[in-house]
């Protein structure tokens, strides 16, 4: 009996250890890796630093994070990858919420426009002078070269300014911005399905009902199994 009691005392400690490991792993997965893409931190006096101070943000590596108590504490609003010896720009999706990005003082050969697909809040960019603004100058209010850098300021809405139906979107859909030079179409009203051809409420119960039911069944089975194990001890 004493051995069994000792065995039971070990369980809470083991559970705490597992929870701590899970929390640490979760934190590692959610922490923006883009902020550590380049060594150092945002330098004092740079454009991103000034923007971060004015926005009451906080610096984490090369990122400026929104400093509030929302459910998304790692919300990136500014990214400074200047002078990072970059020759190409890859996946920046972690910074898709950024309002400002600085890629100046890098030997970048070319940047695919798809890199900034989904960056709907991006409003200010600093690039090497020989790199064009993503989406072309038609996607920005201002496109100019100044002090050896290209400035892209004021991202334009690719859809027509009225927000109404676009000729680029199928019937019964609305056009919405989706980054410099990009747009996305979303079904309007109660239309849904392929090319928004189906009318009526989306069958949530039919689509998600079986998934929810299977989740409940699995949870019950796991609970029953756990109860049987406890009784057997």
C-alpha dist (Å) from residue 131 to 104, 120, 127, 143, 228: 10, 20, 6, 11, 65
Q: For residue 84, what are the contacts with CB-CB under 8 A and spacing of at least 6?
A: 37, 38, 62, 106
pLDDT of residue 74: 80
pLDDT of residue 103: 97
pLDDT of residue 90: 87
pLDDT of residue 72: 65
Sign of the Cα pseudo-torsion (128, 123, 91, 78, in order): positive
Beta bridge partners of 155: 140
Could you tell me how far CA 171 lies from the centroid of its own chain? 29
C-alpha dist (Å) from residue 61 to 50, 83, 90, 125, 219: 15, 14, 18, 19, 41
Two tokens, residue 54: 């004015």
Q: What is the mean pLDDT of each run of 10 residues along the chain (233 residues)?
A: 41 48 43 89 94 95 86 85 93 96 95 94 97 94 96 91 62 91 91 88 50 54 58 53
pLDDT of residue 161: 56
pLDDT of residue 71: 60
Backbone dihedral angles phi then psi of residue 139, each to the nearest 5 degrees: -95, 0
pLDDT of residue 68: 75
Report the alpha-carbon distance of residue 125 to residue 108 in Å, rounded. Answer: 14
């Amino acid at each position: 009996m004493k051995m069994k009691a000792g065995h039971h005392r070990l369980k809470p400690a083991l559970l705490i250890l597992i929870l701590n490991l899970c929390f640490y792993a979760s934190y590692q997965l959610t922490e923006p890796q883009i902020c550590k893409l380049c060594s150092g931190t945002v330098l004092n006096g740079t454009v991103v630093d000034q923007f971060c101070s004015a926005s009451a943000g906080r610096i984490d590596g090369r990122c400026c994070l929104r400093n509030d108590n929302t459910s998304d504490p790692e919300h990136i609003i500014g990214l400074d990858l200047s002078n990072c010896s970059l020759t190409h720009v890859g996946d920046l999706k972690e910074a898709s919420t950024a309002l400002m990005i600085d890629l100046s003082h890098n030997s970048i050969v070319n940047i695919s426009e798809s890199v900034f697909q989904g960056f709907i809040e991006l409003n200010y960019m600093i690039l090497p002078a020989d790199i064009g603004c993503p989406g072309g100058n038609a996607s920005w209010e201002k496109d100019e070269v100044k002090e050896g850098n290209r400035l892209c300021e004021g991202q334009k809405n690719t859809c027509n300014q009225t927000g109404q139906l676009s000729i680029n979107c199928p019937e019964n859909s609305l056009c919405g911005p989706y980054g410099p030079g990009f747009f996305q179409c979303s079904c309007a009203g109660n239309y849904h399905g392929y090319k928004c051809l189906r009318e009526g409420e989306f069958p949530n119960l039919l689509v998600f009902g079986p998934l929810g039911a299977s989740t409940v069944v699995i949870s019950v089975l796991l609970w029953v199994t756990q109860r049987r194990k406890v009784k057997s001890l």
